Amino acid sequence: MTRPGEHKLKHLFQPGKIGKFPTRNMIKYGACCVSNYNTRDGFITPRELARTRVIAGTGCGIITNQGAYPDPLGEGKAYFRQVALFDDKFLPQFETIARYIHDGGGVAIQQILHAGRYGGIDLGYCIQPSVVPQTLPHFRPPREVSKEQIKLIVTQHAEAAQRAIRAGFDGTEVTSFMGYLLANFNSGFTNQRTDEYGGSLANRGRFMRELIDAIKQATPDNPLVIRLNGAELMDRWGGNSEEECFQLMQQAVDCGVDMISVTVGWQEAPESSIGRDVQPGHWNYLAAKAKQMFPNTLITFGNRLPDPVMANQCIEDGMFDYWEVCRPLLADPELIHKAAEDRLNEVRRCIGSLNCLSRLFRDLPYTCAMNPTLGHEVEPEYQITPAAVKKKIMVIGAGPAGMEAAITARKRGHDVTVFEKSDRIGGNLLAYSAADLARPDDLISVIRHYEVMAEKLGVEMRFNTEANAKFMRSILHQFDVCLVAAGARTDMALYRHVPGAQLLVDALDIAHGKVKPAKRIVMVGAGKIGLTLAESLTQAGHELVLVEEDKRIAGDVIPSFKWRHTAWVEELEIRTLTSSQLIKVTAEGATVRTAKGEEIFLAADMVVISGPRKPNHDLFNEFQWMVDELHGAGDAVIPRGLEAAIHEGYRMGVRI
């Protein structure tokens, strides 16, 4: 029976075929990196199996398991807890994963990932075609591989592919995504060899061709997917041009690969490829070019393409064959089912914050800002189950923490009422998103999701209602539980000793539209709120100076987005004074003192304070003796970010 969304998105949900294997639709789950959920010696854990079972149930026609390194030394190992496939001892868990995928109706593909320049995480060195120094200091110093080592690496890939097929997988995939070993040989940046593996593009592609040939010979009846860059974004260091990238794809096609996954960028690339500062659909032209050049080879694509409606249109227009999707399914594993059931308004969108990558860059298991259960699928306490006792719950604050708790608690059967002092859902996120230079709609989508789900689930919303001690007394006996999720405020009291403090303006008042910004502004605090406002105001024509006490700006910004704010400050030519303190304010401007003790006067019409932020702890003290259970979540506990708010709200909702 065709579901309503399948009719609307008929190109996305039409059946397909890869090699001899039919697919239920034109959707490929992409291995968008590794999870870091496994053991240090490469074995798959119950945590990983539980996550994979969820992935197997996403409804994708093709499902790619995360990359396994193929060599016993671990030169190909990129992450501390990456899975391995260099020995038969690893096969039992791979067999389980292949069975999960088949039980879910998917074609099972195992990715083989040799990290090359980004590998050797346990060894203190990495291998690559040539000794090209690292541009990022946390990667290992390089060693050049010999021709004998190249042959061994090719053999190891072929043997890993054979193991994957023996484990029950239908096909395999090799990847150059992010700048791994395959990309290292293909690119003129890292391949400066003078033998038959370097120099011309034909020579640089020799390793790839040998790799494809060896795997095809080892697994002749099984499809092989190769992930290749359509754009490296490595021009600064002499990387491949787009034309060279497509010439390398031609080599892969000539070798008989069954599918090309078109990707974008390296870890070292100085510009974003998948973050939320990239508009959805920005890279579609690369897939369209590949499909035009290689009409008889399957093309799959998904870089910064989170929307199934757009993906369906791309397939209809002949831009690619399969929509390759990963991070949107980390954010909402039900995305494909919601699309098929015409419930896209309920989707929890991937907002491209790249919390997943930020965690991996810190050698941690990946998580998703939008999905609190990712990585906790094996833990019963993270699952939504019917409440043992139905309770009446009041939530103070309709920001992300409060709404996440309210919706989760309502799903468990509790009666939930949310009290919000403003006239809509969103809290400070609503104001913050309006000033976002990256993509405000991604952040606003979080709010829209809560609006839709609150209405669908019957969460009672009481707007324009400020909770305080007097108000609580009037409704004291109506609720069993109070959850304080009232967010945080700017700690203006911290500056009361500064002469002229009465002239200071709260950054949140500007963000919420309560105060009109002046032409010339000194912004004190270069954290995410100060930066976001400063960037937005500068772009709108205001003259702005940033003052920050710390040595660096963006101290509270997620690691994968710090560089973006730094780049914007540079592009917008925002004057920045770090290691500096505000010491005086007048109607004419502000005086600051630098780390060297120098006093600098900054002419301005307005001095704005954006931090530090102070949690709304007052409510905890006021409500302590007024309700049976009192809890807190999000910035009301400790000011942090969106991920902490959503995750804490969920954990409170799932346990109350």
Closest C-alpha among 91, 113, 98, 107 to residue 52: 98
Give the per-residue pLDDT at 238: 93
Domain 4-361 fold:
TIM Barrel (3.20.20)
Give the per-residue pLDDT at 563: 87
User: Mean pLDDT across the chain, nearest whole number?
Assistant: 96
> Which are the contacts of 220, defined by CB distance < 8 A and separation ≥ 6?
none
Give the per-residue pLDDT at 183: 98
Give the per-residue pLDDT at 610: 97
Give the tokens for residue 481: 């539980």
Output the CA angle 572-577-578, nearest 5 degrees.
115
Burial of 628 (C-beta count, 10 Å sphere; 0-12/13-18/19+): exposed
Percent of the chain residues topping a pLDDT of 90: 89
Give the per-residue pLDDT at 2: 87
Give the per-residue pLDDT at 358: 78
Model confidence pLDDT, tens digit, residues 434-487: 899 988 999 999 999 999 999 999 999 999 999 888 888 888 789 999 999 999
* 3-state secondary structure at position 505: strand
Give the tokens for residue 261: 């996954």
Would you list the domain boundaries of the chain? 4-361, 385-487+616-655, 490-614
Give the per-residue pLDDT at 569: 96
Give the per-residue pLDDT at 1: 78
The answer to whether residues 112 and 85 touch, using CB atoms and an 8 Å cutoff, is: yes
165, 430, 529 from 489: Cα distances, Å: 56, 14, 11
Helices (H), 104-146: none
Give the per-residue pLDDT at 468: 84
Quick one: average pLDDT of 615-619?
A: 90
Quick one: average pLDDT of 188-208?
A: 98
The answer to whether residues 280 and 327 touch, using CB atoms and an 8 Å cutoff, is: no
Q: Considering only the top CATH level, what class is 490-614?
A: alpha beta
The residue assigned the tokens 């998904």 is: 302
The CA dihedral of 399, 400, 402, 406, to the nearest 10 degrees, is 130
Check residues 73 and 274 and name the one with the higher pLDDT.
73
Model confidence pLDDT, tens digit, residues 628-642: 999 999 999 999 999
Confidence of residue 192 (pLDDT cuts 50, 70, 90): very high
Domain 385-487+616-655 has CATH 3.30.930.10: no
Residues paired with 109 in a beta bridge: 64, 171
Give the per-residue pLDDT at 451: 98
